[in-house]
Amino acid sequence: MRKKIVAGNWKMNTTVAEGIELVNQIIAKIEEIPQQVQLIVNTPFTHLFPISKIIGDIKCPNCRSKLALGAQNCADKEKGAYTGEVAAQMLVSLSKAVGTVVGAPADAVGAPVEYVILGHSERRGYYGETNAILLEKIKQALAAGLKVIYCVGEALEDRKAGRHFDVVGEEIKEVLFALGEEDMKKITVAYEPIWAIGTGETATKEQAQEIHAFIRKSLAEKFGALAQQISILYGGSCKPSNAAELFSQPDIDGGLIGGAALKADDFIAIAKSF
Ligand code: PEP
């Protein structure tokens, strides 16, 4: 069975203190989440360290495994003189540093940074991240041991012109087709129509299912039966009121959630919508 995933993309929101409060509110309700659902919080870089410690400290083992930590970006290079960049290896090294914090037991280990979001339309649009750059980022992330949530999606003009399959197909082929099968097992795809992100407008369940099925069919061209095991998430104004109908579709395996991930109650309600 494919993994059911609800991943929060916090974007550039919350102070560190607010982020800590938000994750604590999520943890307080984590027992309500069905065991088969993987929750992920993808926080700003500045929040990863304290939140790694908080998630690592969750006592109940069943609850601990329900919540994973992720970042929202990583560099396309391994290391070196790239001012302002954060390498995938640095993200992976973070959880082991929790034991160095004053007052923590020396053997304390935080929750690992397990995931990274790459290919988000805001990164493609505002920061000029092309498919070629994204492929390099994905290679760095995978080499460091991270799992990748790879986002694809079309702009409104593309949808209106009926070009959405071409755009999404290209984002899949130019990037994911360059990976081997073992690497592909560490990829989750998120379909996020740009016209639905943060706009309150959501793809209908039929529109979303149609393109999720297309993504899976495209993946099957290269990866065969493995395509059936890859989780494909929907993102774009997903909220408690529409999550259940979206998640009921055969090729929708969960959601990448922006605005609604900033309210613990909404995030939890979405995760209970399967
Ligand atoms: C996102 O940007 O990943 C997203 C899905 O945002 P929102 O849920 O706010 O539309």
Told to judge if 120 belongs to the known catalytic residues of this protein, a careful annotator would answer yes
Q: How many CB atoms are located within 10 Å of the residue 64 CB?
A: 16
Q: Which of 55, 64, 53, 51 has its CA nearest to residue 10?
A: 51
256 ligand 1 Cβ < 6 A: yes
Q: Which of 116, 149, 192 to mutate to test the pocket of ligand 1 (most atoms within 8 A of CB)?
A: 192
Report how far ligand 1's centroid is from the alpha carbon of 29 (Å): 22
Residue 99 has pLDDT above 80, yes or no: no
Catalytic residue (one of 114, 129, 171, 192): 192
DSSP one-letter code for 79: S
Parse the chain into domains and list their residue ranges: 4-78+101-271
4-78+101-271: CATH architecture: Alpha-Beta Barrel (3.20)
Catalytic site residue from 120, 154, 164, 171? 120
Per-residue pLDDT, 256: 98
Residues 58-96 have pLDDT tens digits of 988 888 999 999 999 999 999 999 999 999 999 999 988
Give, for ligand 1, the residue of 149, 257, 262, 266 to mutate: max count of ligand atoms closer than 8 Å to Cβ.
257
Ligand 1 proximity of 261 Cβ (cutoff 6 Å): no
- Which of the two residues, 99 and 8, has the higher pLDDT score? 8
Q: From the CB of 6, is ligand 1 less than 6 Å away? A: no
pLDDT digits (tens, 9 = 90+) for 11-38: 999 999 999 999 999 999 999 999 999 9
Q: What is the pLDDT of residue 111?
A: 93
Q: Which residues of 179-213 are buried (b: 16+ CB within 10 A; e: fewer)?
A: beeebbebbbbbbbbbbbbeeeebbebeebbebbe
Evaluate if residue 106 carries a pLDDT over 80. Answer: no
102 confidence band (pLDDT: 50, 70, 90): low
Q: Report whether pLDDT(273) > 90.
A: yes
Catalytic status, residue 31: no
Of all protein residues, whose CA lies closest to atom 8 belonging to ligand 1?
A: 258
Which residue puts its alpha carbon closest to atom 4 of ligand 1? 258
Assign 69 to helix, strand or coil.
Answer: strand
Q: Decide: 48 in ligand 1 pocket, CB within 6 A.
A: no
Q: Is 179 helix (H, G, I), strand (E, B) or coil?
A: coil
Average of per-residue pLDDT values in the chain: 95
Atom of ligand 1 nearest to the CA of 122: 2
What separation in Å is there between the alpha carbon of 192 and the centre of ligand 1?
8
Cβ of 258 below 6 Å from ligand 1: yes
Which residues are CB-contacts of 161 (< 8 A; sequence separation ≥ 6)? none
Percent of the chain with pLDDT over 70: 98
Bridge partner list, 40: 7, 68
Kindly report, residue by residue over 194-238, the tens digit of the pLDDT: 999 988 888 899 999 999 999 999 999 999 999 999 999 999 999
Q: Which residues contact 242 (CB under 8 A, 6 or more apart)?
A: 202
Phi and psi, residue 84, nearest 5°: 90, -10
Angle between helices 16-28 and 264-271 (to 10 degrees): 40
Q: Is 117 in the pocket of ligand 1 (CB under 6 A)?
A: no
